Structure 1
Amino acid sequence: MASQIILHQPESEKIIRYSLNNSIPATEELYRKLIDKGFFFKRDHKINNYTFDFYSPLLKIAIEIDGYAHEFTDVYSQDAPKKLHIHSLGITVLRFTDYQILVDIEEIIRALKHQIKLSKHRKYVV
């Protein structure tokens, strides 16, 4: 009887791969919804060394879509310097999971409208 070697993908790698595969539909869904609601956000906008999923220069609001991979400590820690730098530029970052977008996108829009109302850079009438 020959022994069989079964290669197992590390659990965290499986989760990250699943998250990446499912974040694309979430990103597309949010982009369509933003357009439908009349919001102008640039996609994959780069500020210095950091890229945001969506960014409004008028509002100084960035939207980041986090997959499940962001739940891991090492991924979360990598975001810390980014948070400090972006905050120093006066940019507000709204973070949502791909799951939130796919399950309750209207809540995302409500949160965005709320942030716009709070923003001193407000250019939209909400």
Structure 2
Amino acid sequence: MRSQILLHQPESEKIIKYSLNNSIPATEELYERLTNKGFYFLRNHKVNNYTFDFYCPALKIAIEIDGYAHEFSEVYSQDAPKKLHINSLGITVLRFTDYQILVDIEEIFRALKHEIKISNQNSYVV
């Protein structure tokens, strides 16, 4: 009988691989649904040094899809300066997980419509 060597993969690597494998279908699903519902969002759009998964310049709303990798402290720490800078530009960032997109995409559209309503109430013409 031959012995098998099983390599133990660290838990964080498993989570990151799962996230990467599922983020692409989630991104495609969200883009397709945004387009079908008449929303105009640019994909992988860069504003200054930051790239958003989806960005609507007219509304100044960005959508970020967070995989499980964002739950690690080092990734979260890297996002903190980005949040401060983006807020200073007047951009609202809506964050969703790939799991939310695949399981309850209608909740994402409710949040998006709510944010559009709020931004329209806060805008004014001079």
TM-score by length of 1: 0.90
TM-score by length of 2: 0.90
Q: CA deviation at 1:7?
A: 2.2
How far, CA to CA, are the matches of 2:39 and 2:116 in structure 1? 11
Q: CA deviation at 1:6?
A: 3.0
How far, CA to CA, are the matches of 1:2 and 1:78 in structure 2? 46
Gaps of 5+ in 1: none
Secondary structure of the 2:114 match is helix
Q: Which residue of 2 aligns with 1:51?
A: 51
Gaps of 5+ in 2: none
How far, CA to CA, are the matches of 2:31 and 2:121 in structure 1? 21
Q: Which residue of 1 aligns with 2:62?
A: 62
Alignment of 1:42-121 (within 5 A): 42-120=42-120
Q: Which residue of 2 aligns with 1:41?
A: 41
Q: Which residue of 2 aligns with 1:18?
A: 18
The Cα offsets for residues 6-58 of structure 1, whole Å up to 9 and x where unpaired, read as: 32221101101110110000000000110111000000001111110000000
Task: Provide the alpha-carbon RMSD of the alignment.
Answer: 1.9
How far, CA to CA, are the matches of 1:87 and 1:98 in structure 2? 23
Code of the residue aligned with 1:63 in structure 2: it is I
How far, CA to CA, are the matches of 2:74 and 2:118 in structure 1? 32
Secondary structure of the 1:119 match is helix
Contact 1:30 1:101 in 2 (8 A): yes
How far, CA to CA, are the matches of 2:51 and 2:11 in structure 1? 27
How far, CA to CA, are the matches of 1:2 and 1:115 in structure 2? 61
How far, CA to CA, are the matches of 1:71 and 1:108 in structure 2? 20
Code of the residue aligned with 1:39 in structure 2: it is F
Contact 1:60 1:121 in 2 (8 A): no
Moved over 6 A (4+): none
Code of the residue aligned with 2:77 in structure 1: it is S
Identity score, percent: 82
How far, CA to CA, are the matches of 2:63 and 2:121 in structure 1? 16
